[in-house]
Structure 1
Amino acid sequence: MDRFGILAILEAKPGKEQKVASFLKSARPLVLQEVGTSTWFAFQTGPTSFGIFDTFADEDGRDAHLTGEVAKALFANAEELFAEKPQINMADLLATK
């Protein structure tokens, strides 16, 4: 069972919504290369609201993801794409299916 997660909340700058969506879609191949990342979801919840949720079996996998290529690209593009700094929340998973 995966025991660790990350929830990232992203708010696109006005007019950058399509670029954020494209950026998230383009990150998938990078995540597929991460052996420690069990699941990865990029999603949109509103016109300018986006997020990422990932799960990991252990803290090593989570730490590797936090220092990996997706995280680097996210923060390298943050000023251009996002209205505010991405909110990165660590999660301890209590139950999964």
Structure 2
Amino acid sequence: METVAGVIPFKAKVGQGETVARLIAAALPHVENEPGTPLWLVLRSNTDPDMIFLVDLFSGTAGRDAHMTGEAAKLIFATVPPYLEAAPEIHPADVIASKGR
């Protein structure tokens, strides 16, 4: 099975990191219904609390494509942008090495 990933850094406006993290995390119920998304992480930086990372693993490009047009993505991109310094940049990626998947 091919495993691919997605990484999206979100730079929140000053003091809005907690809000951005909470809004992104609110999409978890939608992600739980996606069979092509076995791993989905929302990370908040310890060195910059206004930097949030969304990291996903997918069971192939079809899973990634479905996720990026699914309900979780719609919710995130409908609620998070007002709290950001700039639009997030989506980084589709290939998994080169991993442990625990």
How far off is 1:56 after superposition? Answer: 0.9
Compared CA separation, residues 2 and 44, structure 1 to 2 (3 A): farther
What secondary structure does 2:26 align onto?
helix
Tell me the distance in 2 between the aligned counterparts of 1:17 and 1:52.
13
What CA RMSD, in Å, does the superposition of the two structures yield over aligned residues?
1.4
Tell me the distance in 2 between the aligned counterparts of 1:96 and 1:12.
29
Compared CA separation, residues 52 and 79, structure 1 to 2 (3 A): closer
Q: What is the TM-score when the length of structure 1 is the normalising length?
A: 0.89
Q: What is the TM-score when the length of structure 2 is the normalising length?
A: 0.86
| Count of residues paired in the alignment | 97
Contact residue 4 and residue 93 of structure 2 kept, 8 A: yes
Q: State the match for 1:28 in structure 2.
A: 28
Gaps of 5+ in 1: none
Is 1:88 equivalent to 2:87 in the alignment?
no
Tell me the distance in 1 between the aligned counterparts of 2:2 and 2:13.
33
